[in-house]
Structure 1
Amino acid sequence: MEMLSEFRFPYVPATDRTPASPPDPLQPGMLARVLDEIDHGLLLLDLTGRILHANFPARRELTSAHTLRSVDGMLCASHAGSQPKLRQALKDAERDYRSIVELDDDPEDPLSLAFIPLAALHGAATVDTVLVMCSRRPGCESLTMQMFARSKRLTRAEQNVLARLCAGHGAEEIACLEGIRMSTVRTHIKNVRQKTGSNSIREVVYRVSRMPQIVSALRIASEN
């Protein structure tokens, strides 16, 4: 009887080997990874409001509990006055109606939600799940900013100023936050505008905000 260690598979030349099949994008694990790369909060609910899945931005939203929160696995508004809006949106979704819900109890932290009914798989006509899309929070992802800055050969200081501008800070605030003079801030802004070939710093901020907001893998890892 041959020992297992002596067993040999026939050699197959590299040119004759069948390439590995790409992963099925509909596999749950792959789909979850894709959703985590989207910088809008996305939640999948059943018709009772139970959370079936939440991507990274949605989990961050729930953890902050400023506008939304999870209570025993159920999606709830942080302010009691907004809870009826969520219940009505779920009822509308059950009837296959799409709706927009605005949660503005906190004027400084408003959030809009789109409720999108999803029919069951395998050709069934009835709705059994609801996709909730959250409005995107203002600002730009740091990884997107870094990639843009690298492509335009911005210095670290220029990148920092641009990041502050994208976050909505004015020149005086930036000077205070960065601990530099106003004249230095103006110089950095001028350099950013010239290096990016933009007519104004507002144009630069708009361009960056329109870019794909790439989520850092480190950000996701730190949450797990």
Structure 2
Amino acid sequence: METAADFEINYLERFGRDVTAAPPDALQPGMLARVLDEIDHGLLLLDLTGRILHANFPARRELAAARALRNGEGMLCAGNVASQAKIRQALKDAERDCRSIVELEDGEDSLSVAFIPLAAVHGSGTVDTVLVMCSRRPGCETLTMQMFARARHLTRAEQNVLARLCAGHGAEEIACLEGIRMSTVRTHIKNVRQKTGSSSIREVVHRVSRMPQIVSALRFGE
């Protein structure tokens, strides 16, 4: 009787595949870096001293903005002494294989950051690197918004108002930012709600916020 292993080998040989060849490693460093760049949360890999080993695109953008987080000669730094102390403590906790989440504040700006210890060898318990995950900034990626708007036949003006709503702006702020009347903002909101078949604009914003944040390849030229 043919065993399951025999069946698999025969099946692969029947379709001309080299069963002795090792499967290609799809997550080689270059590919993995590109995958991480497509994640809409800032991700950094640190050693236990806080030196930055890798940062994906959102993290690089966060560091370049130099608000709650910044790059200080290759080291992860905060915008003030109090937040810097939180980072140092989180790294100490990570060295003891403890996860933590800290709130970093810099003036009116704040950022939630998770510190996740990574063992050198899976299951060894010896931590040598730390994964840092940043909270998403408010708003929605432009390409995601454009695709959603096109699918729902929203006008450019309606799309702009929805983008402002997703960024946390109120109707009065939107009127000021877009240079339009409050009555026009209300009309756009009503049209967005009707075109998307939503019972409220809050529902629309919730739906958009849950969509995959598709990023444009053009951003890498920034």
TM-score range (shorter-chain normalised) is: 0.7 to 0.9
Cross-structure match for 1:179 = 179
Cross-structure match for 2:48 = 47
CA distance in 2, matches of 1:183, 1:132: 44
Preserved contact between residue 161 and residue 189 of structure 2 (Cα < 8 Å): yes
Cross-structure match for 1:206 = 206
- My pick for the range that moved more, 123-132 or 84-93, is 123-132
CA distance in 2, matches of 1:208, 1:26: 30
TM-score by length of 1: 0.84
Task: Determine if the alignment matches structure 1 residue 64 to structure 2 residue 95.
Answer: no
Deviations 1:112-163 (A, max 9, x none): 1111000113764311110000111111111111111111111111111111
4+ runs deviating over 6 angstroms: none
RMSD: 2.1
Residues 22, 62 of structure 1: CA spacing in aligned structure 2 closer, same or farther, 3 A cutoff?
Answer: farther
Cross-structure match for 1:125 = 125
Cross-structure match for 1:34 = 35
- SS of residue in 1 equivalent to 2:109: coil
- SS of residue in 1 equivalent to 2:27: coil
Q: Which amino acid aligns with 1:220?
A: F
Q: Which amino acid aligns with 2:86?
A: K
CA distance in 2, matches of 1:202, 1:55: 31
Gaps of 5+ in 1: 1-15
CA distance in 1, matches of 2:132, 2:169: 31
Q: Which amino acid aligns with 1:188?
A: H
CA distance in 2, matches of 1:70, 1:43: 11
Preserved contact between residue 46 and residue 129 of structure 1 (Cα < 8 Å): yes
Residues 87, 191 of structure 1: CA spacing in aligned structure 2 closer, same or farther, 3 A cutoff?
Answer: same
Preserved contact between residue 153 and residue 195 of structure 1 (Cα < 8 Å): yes
Task: Determine if the alignment matches structure 1 residue 160 to structure 2 residue 135.
Answer: no
Preserved contact between residue 79 and residue 106 of structure 2 (Cα < 8 Å): no
Percent of residue pairs bearing the same amino acid type? 83
- The count of residues paired between Structure 1 and Structure 2 equals 205
CA distance in 2, matches of 1:208, 1:93: 34
Cross-structure match for 2:80 = 79
Could you tell me how far 1:184 is from its partner in structure 2? 2.2
Residues 122, 138 of structure 1: CA spacing in aligned structure 2 closer, same or farther, 3 A cutoff?
Answer: closer
